[in-house]
Amino acid sequence: MAQDFDVAVVGLGAAGAASLHALARAGVSAIGLDRFVPPHDHGASHGETRMLRVAYGEGAGYSPLAARAKQLWREIEARTGARLYEETGLVYAGPHSSPFLAETWRAGQLHGLGLSKLAPGARSGLGFEVPGDWRCILEPGAGFLYAERAIETLLGEAQALGAEIVTDRRVLAVRPTEDGVEIEADAGGVRARRAVVCAGGWTAGLLPELAPLLSVERRTIHWFADPERARTPAAGFRPFYIEDEQGLAVYGLPNWGGTGVKIGEHIEGVAQTSPEEVDRAVHAEDEARLRAMAARWFKDLGPVVKSQTCLYPMSRDQDFILDRLPSDRRITVLAGLSGHGFKFAPALGEAAAAMTLGEAPPLDLSMFALSRFAP
Ligand SMILES: Cc1cc2nc3c(=O)[nH]c(=O)nc-3n(C[C@H](O)[C@H](O)[C@H](O)COP(=O)(O)OP(=O)(O)OC[C@H]3O[C@@H](n4cnc5c(N)ncnc54)[C@H](O)[C@@H]3O)c2cc1C
């Protein structure tokens, strides 16, 4: 049977937009489908900004991938003229016992990222206070991405290179056939030789064999007023990641363009939910919990000017899943980005495209293989 496309990409959040982009750049005929109109606020890829760090506290093994992604973001900026990345530097703070900070420092040393330790005297002007005996690290080459603009740009360039994009189209099943993969959808299905599934928190519904490895958590983010513009990059305020003695972290991004200071929490043990059942309203207790955590470092947080809910599609070990399905090698999955995947999108998309086309990815990403979960 004739196939409509070489590759179909299911889901066009950060992961799928980047995969489609890489496939289009590789010159294959590709189609991307999404149940909404990306960029949208139903999944994990919205909220204006995303941190980009290369000294990687989750594991120094991520640093080459982050560096590759940063290079690719820069190349996309140069080709399209879109401004996607602000290199503001980023400050990490936490007690000396923090494994995350220790790994951040180690990754910085291992990969020559020019990190510096900020002594208590050098910390005034950061815009927050941390105990004098804490570890405080500056990563000068880190910064933040414009999330929705980045997705628009990836999709725009993919389309300009010939990729087809179908929105408001819900994929119901991804089914291997004798000579390809059938993408069944609520209107007009598609046949392709291969498929890449990047459905974020919806992935387990499409690939039930992966359900034991995936879960979904709910997070909220809040923007705090900054009327005096004291927390802008121009005022020396940088993105930050502060972890306390219990390992609870708040992270934030500066007031950029007058939207306020964005602050979120990175915590463990959050109840599992699903994209269908998740409570998408933001409640007073969400803001109160975050405000209480942040108040230790920020004495004068203004009122909240905006809040959003967001999904964290998690893998069982919080490392990404990027592999071809053992049950059918024509289907690649890129999922479980576990609350830290946006920065990597173009490098993950590049690798997903290579794998799908039967080529070796530019970097060894075997740490994301499904075989790591084998009993
Ligand atoms: C609050 C918050 C803060 C974060 N901060 C950072 C950060 O600072 N730095 C960083 O690197 N990362 C960060 N992350 C993580 C990062 O944003 C995510 O890892 C990444 O956006 C996940 O992208 P995704 O494409 O896997 O998922 P999604 O964005 O959820 O995309 C999945 C897509 O699949 C589509 N889809 C699903 N099912 C179907 C179907 N059946 N048919 C068709 N389409 C379908 C959905 O509509 C959606 O567009 C943060 C995440 C959150 C929530």
Residue 125: the pLDDT is 82
Q: Which of 215, 193, 218, 169 is nearest to 332 (CA)?
A: 193
**Residue whose pair of structure tokens reads 């500056």 in the numeric block:** 138
Longest dimension (CA), the chain: 70
pLDDT band at residue 1 using 50, 70 and 90 as cut-offs: very low
Query: How confident is the model over 308-323, as pLDDT tens digits?
Result: 999 999 999 999 999 9
CA 200 and chain centroid, separation:
10
Q: Which residues of 48-79 are buried (b: 16+ CB within 10 A; e: fewer)?
A: bbbbbbbbbbbebebbbbbbbbbebbeebeee
* Ligand 1 atom nearest to CA at 51: 8
Q: Say if residue 39 is preceded by a cis peptide, omega within 30 of 0.
A: yes
Q: Which of 362, 70, 356 is nearest to 193 (CA)?
A: 356
H or E stretch including 151?
A: helix 147-160
* Ligand 1 atom nearest to CA at 49: 8
CA of 43 to the centre of ligand 1 (A): 5
Q: How far is CA 277 from CA 182, 195, 267, in A?
A: 28, 27, 21
pLDDT band at residue 375 using 50, 70 and 90 as cut-offs: confident
CA of 219 to the centre of ligand 1 (A): 12
H or E stretch including 289?
A: helix 284-295
Q: What is the mean pLDDT of residues 73-86?
A: 98
Q: How far is CA 61 from CA 24, 150, 319, 364, in A?
A: 28, 25, 11, 10
Put simply, whether the predicted model's pTM sits higher than 0.85 gets the answer yes
Decide: helix, strand or coil at residue 291: helix
CA of 185 to the centre of ligand 1 (A): 20
- What is d(CA 344, CA 74) in angstroms, rounded to the nearest whole number? 13
- What is d(CA 171, CA 135) in angstroms, rounded to the nearest whole number? 47
Q: How far is CA 60 from CA 24, 111, 117, 283, 367, in A?
A: 30, 8, 18, 36, 12
> How big is the chain, counted in residues?
375
Calculate the dihedral angle through the C-alpha atoms of 180, 191, 170, 80, rounding to the nearest 10 degrees.
100
Residue 313: the pLDDT is 97
Q: What is the mean pLDDT of residues 139-150?
A: 98
Residue 2: the pLDDT is 55
CB 47 within 8 A of CB 262: yes
* Pocket lined around ligand 1, Cβ cut-off 6 Å: 10-16, 33-36, 38, 42-45, 47, 50-51, 170-171, 198-202, 206, 219, 221, 264, 310-313, 337, 339-343
Q: What is the mean pLDDT of the chain?
A: 96
CA 93 and chain centroid, separation:
21
Residue 345: the pLDDT is 99
| Domains of the chain with bracketed CATH | 5-45+148-213+318-373 (3.50.50.60), 88-141+215-315 (3.30.9.10)
Query: How confident is the model over 191-246, as pLDDT tens digits?
Result: 999 999 999 999 999 999 999 999 999 999 999 999 999 999 999 999 999 999 99
Residue 309: the pLDDT is 97
Residues with Cβ < 8 Å from 307, sequence gap 6 or more?
Answer: 220, 221, 222, 223, 282, 286, 287
Query: How confident is the model over 253-262, as pLDDT tens digits?
Result: 999 888 899 9
Is residue 268 predicted with pLDDT exceeding 90?
A: no
Q: What is the DSSP string of 31-66?
A: EEE-SS-SS-SSSSS-SSEEEE-SS-TT-GGGHHHH
